[in-house]
Protein backbone atom coordinates (compact mmCIF):
# COMPACT_ATOMS: atom_id res chain seq x y z
CA UNK A 1 0.00 0.00 0.00
CA UNK A 2 1.51 3.37 -0.97
CA UNK A 3 2.09 5.89 1.81
CA UNK A 4 -0.56 8.59 2.29
CA UNK A 5 0.20 11.90 0.68
CA UNK A 6 0.73 14.74 3.13
CA UNK A 7 -1.80 17.57 3.00
CA UNK A 8 -0.62 20.51 0.94
CA UNK A 9 0.70 23.39 3.01
CA UNK A 10 -1.16 26.67 2.85
CA UNK A 11 0.82 29.74 2.02
CA UNK A 12 1.27 32.02 5.03
CA UNK A 13 -0.74 35.25 5.16
CA UNK A 14 0.93 38.47 4.13
CA UNK A 15 0.65 39.90 7.67
CA UNK A 16 2.28 36.85 9.22
CA UNK A 17 -0.78 35.73 11.22
CA UNK A 18 -2.10 32.20 10.94
CA UNK A 19 -5.18 31.56 8.83
CA UNK A 20 -8.29 30.70 10.81
CA UNK A 21 -10.78 28.15 9.61
CA UNK A 22 -14.44 29.13 9.31
CA UNK A 23 -16.73 27.78 12.04
CA UNK A 24 -18.00 24.28 11.35
CA UNK A 25 -20.91 24.13 8.95
CA UNK A 26 -20.47 27.68 7.65
CA UNK A 27 -19.46 28.45 4.13
CA UNK A 28 -16.94 31.10 3.40
CA UNK A 29 -18.09 33.83 1.05
CA UNK A 30 -16.02 34.31 -2.08
CA UNK A 31 -15.73 38.01 -1.30
CA UNK A 32 -15.09 39.38 2.16
CA UNK A 33 -17.81 42.07 1.97
CA UNK A 34 -20.63 39.67 1.00
CA UNK A 35 -22.64 38.08 3.80
CA UNK A 36 -22.87 34.28 3.80
CA UNK A 37 -25.79 32.87 1.84
CA UNK A 38 -29.09 32.94 3.70
CA UNK A 39 -28.22 36.17 5.53
CA UNK A 40 -29.84 39.43 4.50
CA UNK A 41 -27.49 42.26 3.61
CA UNK A 42 -27.29 44.98 6.26
CA UNK A 43 -29.84 47.76 5.93
CA UNK A 44 -29.60 51.31 7.24
CA UNK A 45 -32.30 53.03 9.33
CA UNK A 46 -33.34 55.39 6.51
CA UNK A 47 -33.69 52.54 4.02
CA UNK A 48 -35.67 50.51 6.57
CA UNK A 49 -38.06 53.40 7.21
CA UNK A 50 -38.53 53.92 3.45
CA UNK A 51 -39.34 50.23 2.97
CA UNK A 52 -41.82 50.29 5.86
CA UNK A 53 -43.55 53.41 4.52
CA UNK A 54 -43.67 51.81 1.07
CA UNK A 55 -45.56 48.79 2.42
CA UNK A 56 -49.35 49.05 2.41
CA UNK A 57 -49.66 46.36 5.09
CA UNK A 58 -47.12 48.11 7.34
CA UNK A 59 -49.00 51.42 7.00
CA UNK A 60 -52.26 49.69 7.89
CA UNK A 61 -50.63 48.15 10.99
CA UNK A 62 -49.20 51.52 12.05
CA UNK A 63 -52.48 53.37 11.49
CA UNK A 64 -54.43 50.68 13.38
CA UNK A 65 -52.02 50.90 16.32
CA UNK A 66 -52.21 54.70 16.40
CA UNK A 67 -56.01 54.72 16.12
CA UNK A 68 -56.19 52.21 18.95
CA UNK A 69 -54.00 54.47 21.10
CA UNK A 70 -56.24 57.48 20.34
CA UNK A 71 -59.34 55.44 21.16
CA UNK A 72 -57.87 54.33 24.49
CA UNK A 73 -56.99 57.94 25.36
CA UNK A 74 -60.56 58.98 24.60
CA UNK A 75 -61.99 56.14 26.68
CA UNK A 76 -59.67 56.87 29.61
CA UNK A 77 -60.69 60.52 29.71
CA UNK A 78 -64.37 59.65 29.34
CA UNK A 79 -64.60 56.90 32.00
CA UNK A 80 -61.75 57.87 34.32
CA UNK A 81 -60.24 54.38 34.31
CA UNK A 82 -56.83 53.29 33.00
CA UNK A 83 -58.26 51.03 30.33
CA UNK A 84 -55.68 48.92 28.48
CA UNK A 85 -55.66 47.06 25.13
CA UNK A 86 -56.10 43.79 27.06
CA UNK A 87 -59.41 45.19 28.32
CA UNK A 88 -60.68 46.43 24.96
CA UNK A 89 -59.81 43.08 23.35
CA UNK A 90 -62.84 41.71 25.21
CA UNK A 91 -65.38 44.17 23.83
CA UNK A 92 -65.91 42.80 20.30
CA UNK A 93 -66.59 39.35 21.79
CA UNK A 94 -69.32 40.42 24.22
CA UNK A 95 -72.83 39.97 22.82
CA UNK A 96 -75.50 42.55 23.68
CA UNK A 97 -77.48 39.96 25.65
CA UNK A 98 -74.31 38.93 27.49
CA UNK A 99 -71.71 36.23 26.94
CA UNK A 100 -70.57 33.40 29.25
CA UNK A 101 -66.99 33.90 30.48
CA UNK A 102 -66.04 30.44 29.21
CA UNK A 103 -67.17 31.45 25.70
CA UNK A 104 -65.19 34.69 25.97
CA UNK A 105 -62.07 32.64 26.77
CA UNK A 106 -62.71 30.46 23.71
CA UNK A 107 -63.32 33.43 21.43
CA UNK A 108 -60.15 35.18 22.60
CA UNK A 109 -58.05 32.02 22.70
CA UNK A 110 -56.87 32.70 26.25
CA UNK A 111 -57.35 31.00 29.61
CA UNK A 112 -60.52 31.34 31.70
CA UNK A 113 -58.36 32.79 34.48
CA UNK A 114 -57.07 35.57 32.19
CA UNK A 115 -60.63 36.42 31.09
CA UNK A 116 -61.83 36.39 34.71
CA UNK A 117 -59.07 38.85 35.71
CA UNK A 118 -59.92 41.29 32.91
CA UNK A 119 -63.66 41.00 33.50
CA UNK A 120 -63.20 41.60 37.24
CA UNK A 121 -61.14 44.75 36.60
CA UNK A 122 -63.75 46.08 34.17
CA UNK A 123 -66.61 45.14 36.49
CA UNK A 124 -64.92 46.95 39.39
CA UNK A 125 -64.55 50.02 37.13
CA UNK A 126 -68.27 49.84 36.33
CA UNK A 127 -67.79 49.11 32.63
CA UNK A 128 -69.09 45.52 32.68
CA UNK A 129 -71.69 43.66 34.68
CA UNK A 130 -71.49 40.01 35.68
CA UNK A 131 -74.58 37.93 36.44
CA UNK A 132 -75.43 34.24 36.71
CA UNK A 133 -75.94 32.62 33.32
CA UNK A 134 -79.65 31.65 33.09
CA UNK A 135 -78.78 28.79 30.72
CA UNK A 136 -76.10 27.32 33.01
CA UNK A 137 -76.06 28.11 36.72
CA UNK A 138 -72.43 26.98 37.01
CA UNK A 139 -71.11 29.90 34.98
CA UNK A 140 -71.53 33.65 34.74
CA UNK A 141 -72.55 35.88 31.88
CA UNK A 142 -70.76 39.15 31.09
CA UNK A 143 -72.54 42.12 29.57
CA UNK A 144 -71.94 45.80 29.05
CA UNK A 145 -72.77 48.10 31.94
CA UNK A 146 -76.07 49.91 32.19
CA UNK A 147 -74.56 52.62 34.44
CA UNK A 148 -74.68 56.11 33.04
CA UNK A 149 -71.32 57.17 31.56
CA UNK A 150 -70.13 53.55 31.43
CA UNK A 151 -72.28 52.01 28.71
CA UNK A 152 -71.39 50.55 25.34
CA UNK A 153 -72.84 53.68 23.73
CA UNK A 154 -70.37 55.85 25.68
CA UNK A 155 -67.54 53.78 24.23
CA UNK A 156 -68.97 53.98 20.73
CA UNK A 157 -69.17 57.78 21.09
CA UNK A 158 -65.35 57.83 21.13
CA UNK A 159 -65.35 56.06 17.75
CA UNK A 160 -67.87 58.54 16.36
CA UNK A 161 -65.60 61.41 17.45
CA UNK A 162 -62.64 59.76 15.74
CA UNK A 163 -64.68 59.25 12.55
CA UNK A 164 -65.54 62.97 12.50
CA UNK A 165 -61.90 63.87 13.03
CA UNK A 166 -60.86 61.59 10.15
CA UNK A 167 -63.47 63.17 7.87
CA UNK A 168 -62.22 66.67 8.74
CA UNK A 169 -58.60 65.63 8.17
CA UNK A 170 -59.06 63.66 4.95
CA UNK A 171 -62.16 65.38 3.59
CA UNK A 172 -65.57 63.73 3.33
CA UNK A 173 -65.01 62.12 -0.08
CA UNK A 174 -61.61 60.63 0.78
CA UNK A 175 -62.85 59.40 4.17
CA UNK A 176 -65.84 57.68 2.51
CA UNK A 177 -63.59 56.14 -0.17
CA UNK A 178 -61.21 54.89 2.53
CA UNK A 179 -64.14 53.44 4.46
CA UNK A 180 -65.42 51.60 1.38
CA UNK A 181 -61.93 50.31 0.55
CA UNK A 182 -61.39 49.05 4.10
CA UNK A 183 -64.81 47.33 4.06
CA UNK A 184 -63.78 45.51 0.87
CA UNK A 185 -60.44 44.60 2.43
CA UNK A 186 -62.17 43.33 5.58
CA UNK A 187 -64.53 41.18 3.48
CA UNK A 188 -61.60 39.76 1.51
CA UNK A 189 -59.59 39.01 4.65
CA UNK A 190 -62.65 37.36 6.19
CA UNK A 191 -62.94 35.01 3.22
CA UNK A 192 -59.19 34.28 2.95
Provide the residue range defining the domain that includes 99.
57-191
- Answer yes or no: is pLDDT of 124 > 90: yes
Q: How far is CA 153 from the centre of its chain?
A: 25
86 belongs to a structural domain: yes
Burial 56-82 (b: 16+ CB within 10 A, else e): eeeeeeeeeeeeeeebbebbeebbebe
pLDDT, greater one: 179 or 5: 179
- Answer yes or no: is pLDDT of 33 > 90: no
- Pairing of the two strands 99-100 and 128-133: unpaired
Residue 11: its pLDDT value, please? 56
Number of structural domains (the chain) is 1
113 belongs to a structural domain: yes
First and final CA of the chain: distance in angstroms? 68
- Answer yes or no: is pLDDT of 25 > 60: no
Residue 184: CATH number of its domain: 1.10.10.10
- As a whole number, the mean pLDDT across the chain is 84
5 belongs to a structural domain: no
24 belongs to a structural domain: no
- Answer yes or no: is pLDDT of 175 > 70: yes
- Answer yes or no: is pLDDT of 26 > 60: no
- Pairing of the two strands 136-144 and 128-133: antiparallel
23 belongs to a structural domain: no
Span 121-147, mean pLDDT? 89
pLDDT, greater one: 91 or 1: 91
Span 45-61, mean pLDDT? 87
d(CA 4, CA 140): 82
- 107: CB partners within 8 A, 6+ apart: 93, 99
d(CA 114, CA 103): 13
Residue 112: its pLDDT value, please? 93
Write out pLDDT tens, residues 137-168: 888 899 999 887 777 887 888 899 999 999 99
DSSP state of 91: G
111 belongs to a structural domain: yes
Residue 117: its pLDDT value, please? 96
112 belongs to a structural domain: yes
* Percent above pLDDT 90 for the chain: 48
36 belongs to a structural domain: no
Span 177-191, mean pLDDT? 94
* E-assigned strand segments in the chain: 99-100, 128-133, 136-144
Amino acid sequence: MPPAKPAPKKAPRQDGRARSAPPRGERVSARRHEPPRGHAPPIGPHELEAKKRGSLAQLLFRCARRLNERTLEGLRSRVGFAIRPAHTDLFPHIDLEGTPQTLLAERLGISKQAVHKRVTELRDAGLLEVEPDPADGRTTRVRFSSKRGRTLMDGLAVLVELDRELARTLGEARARALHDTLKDLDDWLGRA
